[in-house]
Each structure stands twice: as C-alpha cells, then as structure tokens.
C-alpha cells in the first residue's frame, strides 16, 4: 500500500516560488489570471506568455519563464525579478523537478504500476503541469 504523505515527505517537495526566493529582492508583483491554457512563444520583438488568451509581453526570457512557472503552479501573482535572479530560480526549480522525478522513479521502481503511481504523485504534488511543460525550460 502506498502512503502518499510519506512519499511526498521523502521526496522533499518545495513550494514554488516561495521556497526559491531566499535572498532575492523585488519591488513589484504582477497579477496573473488563474488559467488552464498556459504557453509561451517568441516573436522578433520579444516573448509572449499567454494565460487563457491573455497575453503578457516580456523582453527577458528568464523572467518570462519564471512567470510561466508561477502561472503553471497556480499562483495568481509573481514577483518581478531581475534577469539573474529569475534565471537562477528557474534553474534551481528545474534541477529540483529532475531530482524529485528521479527519487520518485527510484521509490516506485518495484511497483507493478509504477508509471501510473508516478503520475498520481505528480498530481498530488501540484507540479504535474510543470512536468508536462518541462521541455519549455530547455
């Protein structure tokens, strides 16, 4: 029998973005709609983040990715970070996603339905949308 709370604790999930902002300073927040269709695309003049058809324009890819991660994790606001801070936070979060997925695979490797259980655990973590949008971080 799977003890979800025990698994979540052993994996060591952090809260995004709060647990990644230690030592980071910012002065403003941007409000975000709560959306289900969240994606980014580039144009020659910059980067667009779209949340349920509402467009947000960015010149900085690192900040756009950070705000995208905030939206994908269900946050309705995002601090406006410097390029270096946004880049570092996204990189650290991406590294944690990879680490958590590796831990999950290891913890579930003996289970006959390990992929279904892994998907359920990602759902319970609140980060399944991040995992499914993981390639956007490359």
* CA–CA dist 29, 63 (Å, integer): 12
Nearest alpha carbon to residue 137 among 89, 105, 85: 89
Query: How far apart (Å, rounded) are the C-alpha atoms in residues 82 and 88?
Result: 10
Structural domain boundaries of the chain? 4-137
Q: What tens digit of pLDDT does each residue of 19-43 get?
A: 999 999 999 999 999 998 999 999 9
Q: What is the pLDDT of residues 126-136, one digit of tens each?
A: 888 887 665 44
DSSP annotation string for 112-130: TTHHHHHHHHHHHHT-HHH
pLDDT score recorded for residue 137: 47
pTM for the model: 0.86
CB atoms under 10 Å from CB of 137, counted, come to: 15
pLDDT digits (tens, 9 = 90+) for 84-121: 999 999 999 999 999 998 988 888 888 888 888 888 88
Other CB atoms within 10 Å distance of the CB of residue 2: 12
């Amino acid at each position: 029998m799977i003890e979800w709370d025990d698994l979540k604790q052993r994996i060591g999930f952090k809260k995004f973005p709060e647990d990644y902002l230690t030592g980071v300073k910012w002065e403003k927040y941007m409000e975000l709609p709560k959306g289900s269709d969240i994606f980014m695309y580039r144009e020659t003049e910059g980067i667009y983040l779209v949340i349920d058809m509402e467009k947000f324009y960015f010149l900085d890819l690192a900040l756009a990715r950070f705000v995208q991660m905030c939206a994908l994790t269900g946050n309705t606001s995002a601090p406006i970070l410097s390029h270096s801070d946004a880049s570092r936070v996204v990189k650290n979060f991406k590294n944690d996603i990879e680490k958590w997925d590796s831990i999950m695979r290891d913890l579930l490797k003996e289970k006959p339905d390990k992929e279904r259980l892994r998907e359920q655990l990602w759902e319970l973590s609140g980060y399944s949308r991040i995992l499914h949008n993981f390639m956007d971080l490359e």
